[in-house]
Amino acid sequence: SSIFASVEMAPRDPILGLTEAFNADTRATKVNLGVGVYYDDNGKIPLLAAVKAAEKARLETMPPRGYQPIEGLNAYNQAVQNLLFGAGSELLAAGRVITAEALGGTGALKIGADFLKRISPNAKVYISDPSWENHRALFESAGFVVENYPYYDAATRGVNFAGMKSFLEGLAAGSIIILHACCHNPTGADLSDAQWQEVVDVCKAKGLVPFLDMAYQGFADGIDADAVAVRAFSASGLQFFVSSSFSKSFSLYGERVGALSVVTASKEESARVLSQVKRVIRTNYSNPPTHGGAVVAAVLSTPELRQMWEDELAGMRDRIRAMRVALVDKLKAKGVAQDFSFVVKQRGMFSYTGLTSAQVDVLRNEFGIYAVGTGRICLAALNSKNIDAVVDAIAAVLK
C-alpha cells in the first residue's frame, strides 16, 4: 500500500480557510475583513512607488543571480539594524548585534526558534493570550513546549498588564518570552512606553529571554516611535532576539523579506552566535533569495527613495487610522448604542471588535462580510467604498 495511506488530513488554516470561503462567495457586495494584509482605498495591495523605482533600476542592470552569503546581503542587514536599533545605536557600534536576512518575519522566527532549541533545549516558550496563531505552531515545530501568558483583557479592551507582569515574574530563569513589539496581532492592544520598561525590568530581574516580533514597524506611530520596545531592551544590557519583516511596511508580502537580529554580550560573542545562526540557515535553505533584500536595501540607502518610502508608509498608517475613526463615527451615527471608541485607541492593522463568533457568522451568512471568528477585523481592508455597507451590517447584527 501507499506510504501515505495513514497520512491524516491536517486542519485547515483558519484565516486562509476564510479567504477560500470568501473567494467562493458570489455576492458582489462581499467584503473580506479577515485578511492580514494592507489594501489601499481601491481594495488593492499596493506596489509602492519607491519599490517600483528600485526594482526598475535593479532590473535595468540585469544583475547576475549568484548565491548570496548565508546570512544575506550585508547592505540589507545593516539597513535592518539601523531601522530597528537606530542609526546611532551603541549596540551596533560595539558589534553586539548580528543580523541575518530571513524569509519574511516567519522565517526569522523559525531560524531564531531552531537556534534557541540548540542552546536552550529545555526552556519553555511563552506567547501572549491571544497571539498570532503561527507563533505557537512555529515554536512547537522547533521542539518547544509553548504556553500562554495573560495579555488581552476583554473587559477593558486593553492589556491586562498587572496579570501579564505578575505571570512573567513567576517564570523560571531562561524562559523564552515572545513579545509583539508593536501593533499586536490580533488584538491591536499595545503596551505603553512605561509598561515596556517594566517588562524589560522583569526580564532582567528574572533572567528571561525576550524575543521581540516586529512585523509592523511604522504602522502605529512611525518608524522610530514603533521601535520603543527594541530601544528599551537595547538600553537594558540584556541579550535578546528580534524578528522583523518588510512584508507589510514595504508591501512585499510575496518576496519574503525579513530578518533575525540577535543582541549579544560582546563582539566576540556575536561572531560565535552568527556562526551558529548561519549553520541553522545552511541546513534549512542555504541562503536567502536575491531580489527582495536588494530592493529594500536600495530604497533604505538612497535618500530620495527612502523619503518616498517614508511618505508612502505614513500614507498607509494614516489611511488605517482614518478608517478606525470613520468606523467609530459611522457606527455612532447609525445609532449603535455600544461605545466603539476603543477601536481608535487600538494600533496597527487589526482590531478585536468584541463581536461574538455568532455575530461574525451572521455578518458572513446574511451580509457577505467576512471576519475572523474571534471578532478580529483588519482595518486596512476597509475603504471609502465598502465602509458604509460594513457599518450597516454591524449595526444590524448588534440590534
Grid cell at residue 44? 488593492
Question: Does 196 qualify as catalytic in the annotation?
Answer: no
* Cβ-based nearer residue to ligand PMP, 105 or 288: 105
The binder of ligand PMP chosen from 54, 79, 98, 215 (CB under 6 A): 215
On whether the CB atoms of residues 319 and 376 are closer than 8 A, the answer is no
Grid cell at residue 358? 455568532
Binders of ligand PMP in range 173-202 (CB under 6 A): 180, 185
Q: How far is the CB of 256 from ligand PMP (least distance, A)?
A: 7
Closest residue to ligand PMP: CB criterion: 104
Q: How far is the CB of 104 from ligand PMP (least distance, A)?
A: 3
* Cβ-based nearer residue to ligand PMP, 188 or 368: 188
Question: Does 206 qualify as catalytic in the annotation?
Answer: no
Closest alpha carbon to 354 in 380, 333, 327: 327
Determine, following the binding rule CB under 6 A, whether residue 105 of this chain makes contact with ligand PMP.
yes
Kind and range of the H or E element at 179? Answer: strand 176-180
Dihedral of alpha carbons 165, 170, 172, 178, sign: negative
Q: How far apart are CA 353 and CA 110, in angstroms?
A: 30
Determine, following the binding rule CB under 6 A, whether residue 288 of this chain makes contact with ligand PMP.
no
Q: How far is the CB of 182 from ligand PMP (least distance, A)?
A: 10
Q: How far apart are CA 288 and CA 71, in angstroms?
A: 7
Q: Which of the ranges 22-30, 103-111, 139-147, 151-159 carries the binding residues for ligand PMP, by CB under 6 A?
A: 103-111
* Cβ-based nearer residue to ligand PMP, 186 or 368: 186
Residues in contact with 76: Cβ distance below 8 Å, sequence separation at least 6, in sequence order: 101, 259, 293, 294, 296, 297
Catalytic residue among 213, 278, 309, 330: 213
Q: Are strands 209-214 and 176-180 parallel, antiparallel or unpaired?
A: parallel
Grid cell at residue 96? 553586539
Determine, following the binding rule CB under 6 A, whether residue 264 of this chain makes contact with ligand PMP.
no
Grid cell at residue 57? 533600476
Question: Does 330 qualify as catalytic in the annotation?
Answer: no
Question: Which x/- pattern, by CB under 6 A, does the window 339-378 give for ligand PMP?
Answer: ----------------------------------------
| DSSP label of 37 | S
Binders of ligand PMP in range 119-158 (CB under 6 A): 132
105, burial (CB in 10 Å: exposed 0-12, middle 13-18, buried 19+): buried
The binder of ligand PMP chosen from 245, 249, 251, 374 (CB under 6 A): 245
The binder of ligand PMP chosen from 34, 104, 288, 292 (CB under 6 A): 104
Grid cell at residue 374? 474571534
Q: Which of the ranges 50-58, 104-112, 160-168, 316-324 carries the binding residues for ligand PMP, by CB under 6 A?
A: 104-112
Q: Which of the ranges 102-110, 114-122, 218-226, 274-282 carries the binding residues for ligand PMP, by CB under 6 A?
A: 102-110
Q: Which of the ranges 101-109, 118-126, 231-239, 262-270 carries the binding residues for ligand PMP, by CB under 6 A?
A: 101-109
* Cβ-based nearer residue to ligand PMP, 36 or 188: 36
Determine, following the binding rule CB under 6 A, whether residue 106 of this chain makes contact with ligand PMP.
yes
ω before 121 within 30° of 0 (cis)? no
Catalytic residue among 165, 248, 278, 330: 248
Query: Cell 528574572 maps to which residue?
Result: 206
Q: How far apart are CA 49 and CA 57, in angstroms?
A: 12
DSSP string, 184-211: -TTT-----HHHHHHHHHHHHHHT-EEE
The binder of ligand PMP chosen from 55, 71, 213, 226 (CB under 6 A): 213
Binders of ligand PMP in range 33-72 (CB under 6 A): 36
Residues in contact with 36: Cβ distance below 8 Å, sequence separation at least 6, in sequence order: 15, 185, 349, 350, 378
Determine, following the binding rule CB under 6 A, whether residue 218 of this chain makes contact with ligand PMP.
no
Angle at 378 between CA 375 and CA 379, to 5 degrees: 115
Angular region, 209: left φ>0, alpha ψ -120 to 50, beta rest:
beta
Q: How far is the CB of 212 from ligand PMP (least distance, A)?
A: 10
Residues that bind ligand PMP (CB under 6 A): 36, 104-106, 132, 180, 185, 213, 215, 245, 247, 258
Catalytic residues: 132, 213, 248
